[in-house]
Amino acid sequence: MATTAGKTITVAVAGNPNAGKTTIFNNLTGARQRVGNYPGVTVEWKQGTVKRGDLTLNLVDLPGTYSLTAYSDEELVARDYLLNHGPDVVIDVVDASNLERNLFLTTELLEIGLPIVVVLNMADMARARGLQIDVAALSARLGVPVVPAVGNRGVGMDDIIAAVLEMKTSSTHLPGPADVCRDSGPGPASLTGVSLGASRTRVNYGPEVEKLVGEIEDLLPENDARRWQALKLIESDPKVLESITAPGTRERIAGLVANLVAKSNDEVDILLARLRYDFIGRICGDVCRQPQATKTSTSDKIDRVAMHPVWGVPIFLAMMYMVFTLTFTLGNPLMNIIDQGFVLLADFLLRVWPEGVATHLQ
């Protein structure tokens, strides 16, 4: 902490919906938080602080989002903050039990170029399902520190703060927790060292796409997020296109992208998404070990019946019939009581209200 530049660090907390992002934010900040809305939208946000000696960490809980594409207010708000407010570090909360899906957002955060700490939340749930994750290998493959945590039990919170401070001070080694997913004993795993990745990893989209990314980057102003912007321009992201104001640049980019579209069998955004998932799949294949046999959960057993292609529709209609029937059967007595109450109230007001005085209000 003594070597950390400045006394305040701004930290953005990002992640998929239902990955436990807000739980971790609440655990870190406790009661030191306030709630508001981002300007111009109804998306709620939280800001809180963490004190470590004379150092203050300002944490901003970004809206949950699966990607940084301009499809929703949540995505626009999250990426606007990351691109324009310049947090010192980003805590990327991922669901360890759904690693492949959650790492899609991670690949985009890596492309923006901000310092990232990946938090493997719900590590206990992954372990209960028999999933084993080599955290050190995942950290090496992503090129960023990876910290296992169990947000709803407060496990790993100090390790997250330590990783944030390490990223801020650009240290070469992170004192952190062991792989909680691989720990087969009771309780949280013991602490060991998790090395920082040697260099930031990025998706390799193949020679044609990479050549196009490089050509578009050359047309953009120098900044850390230039690669991410180039990829979004290839996807024809409307908000990023609006930010291109140099005369003739949009037309040149459109011409370059048109050449790729002509050669591709897929829509460009689908092509890039598929290449991202190919990259993620290779990483997960190297660092994760799935159980040989997965036990069928109660939810899965119910789904086999309720979601059946033949019986699912009549089951749904029967459930809806039951809901409406119970609503009116059980609700009628209460509705009658309320109706009688208003009749009595009306009679009372007519008796006590002076005649001819504010009759419209009466």
Q: What pLDDT digit, counting tens, does each position of 206-228 carry?
A: 888 888 888 888 888 887 788 88
Nearest alpha-carbon partner for 121 in 193, 238, 16: 16
What DSSP string runs through 216-281? Answer: HHTTSPS-TTHHHHHHHHHTT-HHHHHT--STTHHHHHHHHHHHHHHH-SS-HHHHHHHHHHHHHH
**Integer CA distances (angstroms), 127 to 189, 238, 319, 331, in order:** 11, 41, 35, 45
Nearest alpha-carbon partner for 64 in 96, 42, 36, 93: 93
Confidence band for 148, pLDDT divided at 50, 70 and 90: very high
Partners of 133 in beta bridges: 288
Percent of the chain past pLDDT 90, that is, above it, reads 22
8 Å CB contact between 65 and 104: no
- The reported pTM is 0.69
Give the number of other CB atoms < 10 A from CB of residue 341: 10
Task: Give the pLDDT score at 171.
Answer: 40
**Integer CA distances (angstroms), 113 to 90, 228, 235, in order:** 10, 8, 19
Going 30 to 32 to 34 to 38, the CA torsion angle's sign is negative
- Separation of alpha carbons 100 and 290, rounded Å: 12
Q: What pLDDT digit, counting tens, does each position of 109-131 carry?
A: 998 888 999 999 998 888 888 88
Task: Give the pLDDT score at 292.
Answer: 64
Measured between alpha carbons, how far apart are the two ends of the chain, in Å?
68
Task: Give the pLDDT score at 198.
Answer: 40
Task: Give the pLDDT score at 200.
Answer: 63
8 Å CB contact between 226 and 217: yes
10 alpha-carbon distance from chain centroid: 18
Task: Give the pLDDT score at 39.
Answer: 65
